[in-house]
Amino acid sequence: MTELNGTVSPAFEPVRDAVEEQLRSGAEVGLSLAVDVDGRQVVDLWGGHRDATRTRPWQRDTITNVWSITKTVTSLAALLLVDAGELDLYAPVARYWPEFAANGKQHVQVRHLLSHTSGVSGLDRPARLEDLYDVRAAAARMASQRPWWEPGTASGYHVLNYGHLVGELVHRLTGLPLRDFVDQHIAQPLGTDFQIGLRDADAERVADVVAPALDFDPSALDHGTAAYKTFTGPSFGAGAANTPAWRAADLGAANGHGNARSVVGTLAPIARAGASAHGRFLKPGTIGLVFDEQSGGTDLVSGLHVRWGIGYALPDRRTLPWIPDGRIAFWGGWGGSMAIMDLDRRMTIGYVMNNMGADILGSQRAAAYITAVYRALATGNPT
């Protein structure tokens, strides 16, 4: 039997049972799951394997590409600048990045970037994945483009370019590449093992992603839609995440590397009114901005019904019925990984795995674990 390691508080034993069931069935290859309740780590589990052939065990310090959970950390970087008074969410992007005003984007505001409503959700064609690895050049191309829909009127998921847009603001304000800002101002102060991209020294402890049986094929989409333009601007497959070029890049939308413990440690200050083990990290008022709803409806790119706040999705039972209503901010990574910050319960949940499901957001496995977490919290003493 595949070994599951780690600890859970007594009330959360059913969460361990749910994970063991998925490992036993073979649905999981390797994973980590962590839950923090007001600074108490009530779940810290890891197990399975780092590889599809199930020969290398998933260790406590194993990390993997977490796909769009990366966006939650990029959003946190922007919130830090808002918290410091350096970034105004309601200011035009062009105040900080003058070139972005080109082609009718002079009225696009910072909040539009952070809520996927900017109209710039990818590169105009022709575009190759390699184009995104030159972050400054790709951002310049985006700044010169005409928006693909009227900014602010709807969301269109910024699949691979969210980090280019938000990261360019970080760079303009601080002089630092996004990955360095995250390392110096988020990961190091919080003491978390999270990085955008991958340092060479950490290559030996990375779990490769196991791509879904069928990669997404955008060719069937209407070629005039924002969805087609996004998924071909550029096209990419899940296997790209296992390549050295992907891992070396500064992709604040999709190539963060970490595990559930590091995701939770990084995001827990949001759920805990800005508090961290090392002192105040954010002001409560800044966190409140997350819940300023920017859009709600069918996303033009993902096709999901999504409510976007500032930097994070807000609960919407039409899409994920297993996330309750309330002051919850969340997002997930392609294939099923999840990051949930529940302010009402001062709880943060992180789930990271390598065996990707077919869904853009969430999975049956994620639903089973998170349902078990909420049930345990409701019925038992979290300590």
Segment 344-348 long-range contacts (CB within 8 Å, at least 24 positions apart): 345/37, 345/271, 345/377, 346/37, 346/38, 346/271, 346/272, 346/273, 347/35, 347/36, 347/37, 347/38, 347/271, 347/373, 347/377, 348/35, 348/36, 348/264, 348/267, 348/268, 348/270, 348/271, 348/272
**pLDDT tens digits along 250-265:** 999 999 999 999 999 9
What is the average per-residue pLDDT within 298-323? 97
Q: Which residues pair with 109 in a beta bridge?
A: 92
Spatial distance between the Cα atoms of 72 and 333, rounded to a whole number of angstroms: 10
Catalytic residue among 68, 118, 155, 262: 68
Angle formed by the axes of helices 135-144 and 162-174, to 10°? 100
Q: Is the pLDDT of residue 1 over 50?
A: no
**Of 102, 131, 197, 118, residue with least CA distance to 165:** 118
What are the tokens at 7? 């600890």
Residue whose token pair is 């990707």? 356
Angle formed by the axes of helices 260-271 and 69-83, to 10°? 40
Could you tell me the CA-to-CA distances from 37 to 47, 174, 343, 359, 383 in Å, in that order? 22, 33, 10, 28, 9
CATH assignment of the domain containing 124: 3.40.710.10
Q: How many domains does the chain have?
A: 1
Band the pLDDT of 219: cuts 50, 70, 90: confident
Band the pLDDT of 124: cuts 50, 70, 90: very high
Tell me the DSSP string of 304-349: SEEEE-SSSEE--TTT-TTSPSSSEEEEE-TTS-EEEEETTTTEEE
Q: Is the pLDDT of residue 341 over 60?
A: yes
* Residue 235 annotated to the active site: no
Tell me the DSSP string of 221-279: S-TTSHHHHHHTTT---GGGGGSHHHHHS--TTTBEEE-HHHHHHHHHHHHTTTEETTE
pLDDT of residue 277: 86
Spatial distance between the Cα atoms of 284 and 269, rounded to a whole number of angstroms: 10
Q: Is the pLDDT of residue 345 over 50?
A: yes
* Measured CA angle at 77 (ends 320, 349), to 5 deg: 35
**pLDDT tens digits along 259-291:** 999 999 999 999 999 999 888 999 999 999 999
Q: What is the mean pLDDT of the chain?
A: 96
Q: What share of the chain in percent tops pLDDT 90?
A: 93
Q: Give the range of the structural domain holding residue 238, as residue numbers without chain letter.
A: 4-379
Band the pLDDT of 374: cuts 50, 70, 90: very high
The percent helix, strand, coil of the chain (3-state, each to 5) is 40, 20, 45
Band the pLDDT of 134: cuts 50, 70, 90: very high
Q: Is the pLDDT of residue 343 over 50?
A: yes
**Of 168, 157, 149, residue with least CA distance to 332:** 157
**pLDDT tens digits along 3-62:** 899 999 999 999 999 999 999 999 999 999 999 999 999 999 999 999 999 999 999 999
Contact 376, 305 (CB under 8 A): no
pLDDT of residue 382: 66
**pLDDT tens digits along 156-189:** 999 999 999 999 999 999 999 999 999 999 999 9
**pLDDT tens digits along 136-149:** 999 999 999 999 99
* Measured CA angle at 134 (ends 130, 208), to 5 deg: 55
Q: Is the pLDDT of residue 320 over 90?
A: yes
**Of 138, 118, 140, 121, residue with least CA distance to 130:** 138
pTM, entire model: 0.97
pLDDT of residue 293: 98
What are the two backbone dihedrals, phi and then psi, of residue 180, each rounded to the nearest 5 degrees?
A: -70, -35
pLDDT of residue 50: 97
